[in-house]
Structure 1
Amino acid sequence: MKIVIIGGGPGGYVSAIRAAQLGAEVTLIEKEKLGGTCLNVGCIPTKVLLHTAELLETLKHDGKELGIVAEAFKADWDSLQKRKDKTVSKLVSGIKGLMKSNRIVVVDGQGKFVGRNIIEVKDKEGRILEIEYDKAIIATGSVPAMVPIPGHDLEGVITSNEALSLKEVPKSMCIIGGGVIGSEFASIYKALGCKVTIIEMLPEIIANMDFDIVKPLKEGLIRDGVDIYTDTKVKKIERAAHGLKITAEGMDGALEVEAQKVLLSVGRSPVTDDLGLEALGIKRDKGKVLIDKNMKTSSEDIYAIGDCTGGAMLAHVASAQGIVAAEAIMGKNPKVDFRTIPYCVYTKPELASVGMTEKQAKDSGYDVKTGTFPLYANGKSMIMNETGGIVKFVCDAVTEEVLGLHIAGPRATDLIVEGALAIRLEATINEIITTIHAHPTVGEALHEAAHGVHGTTLHI
């Protein structure tokens, strides 16, 4: 079986490895760098910056409380950039090693379908190579979405790609879009001394998460000097004396903000143009490639995974879909439960969510029970001096099956796996209660929140 994959991000390279493990002859086409957006200009580099920002915030604000005394703490932007680049380079090198060890042929260039079972690859020098395939997987990812705001093309208006590698920390930044990406960059730059403003057109920042866990983050950002305007729509961006002027309209009328940089953070768009999909009759909807449960497109021999299919544009979703596609092609019966997708925000506090929010469960017709536990009553959170979070379970009131878990606090992005596993196993809240959780850990708060569903919380 000859399988050709277009795109070497976390969906493409994982599907390549799984297909090779199952005995396929695999070719991976990548036009830029292995690892895709996630590794090169997404998940990994942003988390390097966020980790340093978190340490800096801790030392600045909590150092004395934690018994650490020093004259001053400040970030070395150049050193931080070097560490970011070094981390990315090391991981990209690791993927190259995985390709080699799994006997996967990597072809550098832009792939395009030019006929049934033929892909044409054009390299950077313009040379053309034709590759035949039995099955193909489209894993072309996404790019930052652009909105037709007047002035969006002015110098100083940037996307998340450029925000990772600015020559210096700007004095001020206005972030248009208060979703995950916007909130993470707000956390990075405010920790580095930049004056940050967020403008979000929806009623809340990070609107896809349960408000009870978003609230501690929003309050923390405001406390640290970030101006947040929700229910506000940007009308235009213009040049100003010291940078750029953003004009917006909100619930309270007109708003004007001046900033040195403007970060457009309004989501991402699938990369599906110029692939020759029309000639093969592959169906799309607003740029998204349409797929079935096994990731197969409307063409019998072509599959698609990850951001190019729309849906949850997350690296771990792309990887899971890549495994499904590879196993389906190789005659297996893949089983991945996509109800268990964790959503994570690497701010301080960290936010993590899996399954339904309370509102989503009620809107779906469930009679709902919830249990919560504040981290100010959790011993490990006290030790870490990070007590501003909360844990919340959402359950079916009749069966007490766990429908969702939502966490704001330290290690939330690591702890959320307990909720994902509970949903996958259709666990009840009593099964969480009767599972022993280690002490002292932040994980104990999950145990207490589970008790909260029955009103039997022990430590509050």
Structure 2
Amino acid sequence: MKSYDLIIIGAGPGGYVAAVEASKLGKKVAVIEKKKIGGTCLNVGCIPSKAYLKHAEWLETMAEANQFGVINEVKEIDYSKLVNRKDQVVGQLQQGIHYLFKENKIDYIEGEAEVISNRVVSVNGAKYETNYLLLATGSTPFVPPINGLDQVSYLTTDTFFEMRELPKKMAIIGGGVIGIELAFAMAPLGVEVTVVEVAPEILMTEDEEARTIIRQKLKKMQVKVLEKVQIKEVKQGELVLDNTTISFDELLVVTGRKANLQLADALNLEKTENKKFIQVDRHYETSEKNVFAIGDVIDTLMLAHAASKEGIKAVRYMFGKKEAPLKNEDIPKCVYTHPEIASFGLTESEAQEKGYDVLVSKTPYSNNGRAISGNETTGFIKIISEKKYKELLGVVIVGANATEMIHTILAAKQAEGTLSEVEQMTFAHPTLSEMMGELANEMLN
């Protein structure tokens, strides 16, 4: 029986990053994956959706150029070529992970893992022994019990990116981050998109003012957004709501994800109170000694970069270096719409609930020279601080390059910086980032 210091089940962003970290610590590592290397993020999530959003951006840019005298015309969209480009992007990144495994002498085993015990794993009839076991098995799309849905063909994120022809009409059930991003990806290509959300508003996890801006942009893109609706029934080509009927060529269901807990059940691991996740301690160890879990199977933010950092911290703990667990308020959240949304930390109401004497201010993109010259004036930067020490409690950025800019001020927070440290930085001019320094200055005076 082949032996390892660590066996990781799941080759997504949590699993493969953890494997590389363990290898760098001099450990013998194997990674087991039953689907495709790279997991959900690389194959049917973060990466392909960003490729599609780039295609949409090309068309938006062409339309914008027309307004200012650069006259152009889109004669045809060859959707198959856009899909092929997405496949090339995914393939290139898959090869990159294979290269990492080879360089770090990590064994990659394709097949479905069966856990015999906390020390023994079986794959394709072969058994492997390990000192530590890390579960990074991710999640799958959650499909709600909607009347008639099981009788019609529909897409989830697992199948959306296999679509080879552009539909004329698409209905999207789910107005969360994924549903809204894919609406932004499809509408500029000429697809008539309708987003149906049963919650009071779309993007309920995001800042209220950010939601308003995105809703306005969706309206401008002629995307129908129906909020607080009741879905009565789904028929082939029709979505029957309480007060209207939506017709579609393709139906996309993006109503959240559920953790893959089959291996947790096989090991009889303790679960969270709601039974939806694996219970872990502050070092990501489960109720079974030497068995750890990270990513979508534990009750933290379902984000690729969160899983990666959790994997690193879990591995370092296994092999002798204790670190503080990842805090949700230190994890950047990003929505890749146009404009983008990026945020971290506490909201104003959350800060007040924690007893802070809250100090909040924001500055609009429309005051910034770089934004004006680049015709990117939609959006704002908002900083949530407190009056006594001027700590950085939270930040929301809505606008161009928000998902890149957020890291500047997050780095300041990670270094225990305050508004003063941000204000003292010298930002290049003209840049969008200089709005951070200007806003900090305003809040200090």
Using the size of structure 2 for normalisation, the TM-score is 0.95
Do residues 190 (structure 1) and 161 (structure 2) align? Answer: no
Distance 1:219 1:451, change over 3 A: farther
Aligned AA (1:314): L
Kept in 2, the 8 Å contact 1:56–1:73? The answer is no
Aligned AA (1:36): G
Residue aligning to 1:25: 28
Secondary structure in structure 2 of the residue aligned to 1:427: coil
Residue aligning to 1:79: 81
Post-superposition CA distance 1:115-161 (Å, at most 9, x none): 24111113xxxxx1111111100000111111111122243321122
Q: Which residue, 253, 267, 283 being the options, matches 1:280?
A: 267
1:111-122 matches, within 5 Å, as 111-122=113-124
Aligned AA (1:292): D
Residue aligning to 1:125: none
Kept in 1, the 8 Å contact 2:134–2:291? The answer is yes
Kept in 2, the 8 Å contact 1:190–1:196? The answer is yes
Worse-matched range after superposition: 258-267 or 227-236: 227-236
Aligned AA (2:82): L
Kept in 2, the 8 Å contact 1:355–1:423? The answer is no
Alignment partners' CA distance in 2, 1:421 and 1:320: 15
Residue aligning to 1:143: 140
Kept in 2, the 8 Å contact 1:355–1:420? The answer is no
Post-superposition CA distance 1:6-48 (Å, at most 9, x none): 0000000000010111111101101111100111111111100
Residue aligning to 2:311: 322
Instruction: Measure how far apart 1:330 and its partner are.
Output: 0.5
Residue aligning to 1:356: 346
Alignment partners' CA distance in 2, 1:155 and 1:385: 44
Do residues 16 (structure 1) and 19 (structure 2) align? Answer: yes
Q: Which residue, 103, 106, 110 being the options, matches 1:104?
A: 106
Q: Which residue, 257, 270, 279 being the options, matches 1:268?
A: 257
Alignment partners' CA distance in 1, 2:337 and 2:103: 36
The aligned length equals 439
Alignment partners' CA distance in 2, 1:143 and 1:24: 30
Post-superposition CA distance 1:87-106 (Å, at most 9, x none): 11011001001001101011
Structure 2: runs of 5+ lacking an equivalent: none
Alignment partners' CA distance in 1, 2:61 and 2:433: 21
Alignment partners' CA distance in 2, 1:299 and 1:115: 10
1:218-367 matches, within 5 Å, as 218-239=215-236, 243=237, 245-249=238-242, 254-273=243-262, 275=263, 277-285=264-272, 286-335=275-324, 337-338=326-327, 339-367=329-357
Kept in 2, the 8 Å contact 1:176–1:264? The answer is yes
Using the size of structure 1 for normalisation, the TM-score is 0.92
Secondary structure in structure 1 of the residue aligned to 2:205: coil
Aligned AA (1:325): A
Instruction: Measure how far apart 1:219 and its partner are.
Output: 0.7
Aligned AA (1:377): N
Do residues 7 (structure 1) and 16 (structure 2) align? Answer: no
Alignment partners' CA distance in 2, 1:74 and 1:161: 27
Post-superposition CA distance 1:174-221 (Å, at most 9, x none): 111111100101101111111111111222211111112222111111
Residue aligning to 2:94: 92
Post-superposition CA distance 1:208-253 (Å, at most 9, x none): 11112222111111121111122223232112xxx2x21234xxxx
Alignment partners' CA distance in 1, 2:400 and 2:94: 28
Structure 1: runs of 5+ lacking an equivalent: 123-127
Alignment partners' CA distance in 1, 2:8 and 2:321: 18
Instruction: Measure how far apart 1:67 and its partner are.
Output: 4.4
Secondary structure in structure 1 of the residue aligned to 2:13: coil
Instruction: Measure how far apart 1:372 and its partner are.
Output: 0.7
Residue aligning to 1:57: 60
Instruction: Measure how far apart 1:279 and its partner are.
Output: 4.9
Alignment partners' CA distance in 2, 1:279 and 1:167: 38
Distance 1:165 1:143, change over 3 A: same
Worse-matched range after superposition: 399-408 or 332-341: 332-341
Instruction: Measure how far apart 1:313 and its partner are.
Output: 0.6
Distance 1:156 1:344, change over 3 A: same
Residue aligning to 2:212: 215
Instruction: Measure how far apart 1:427 and its partner are.
Output: 2.0
Residue aligning to 1:397: 387
Indicate the RMSD between aligned Cα atoms, in angstroms. 1.6
Residue aligning to 1:39: 42
Residue aligning to 1:171: 168
Secondary structure in structure 2 of the residue aligned to 1:404: strand
Instruction: Measure how far apart 1:333 and its partner are.
Output: 1.8
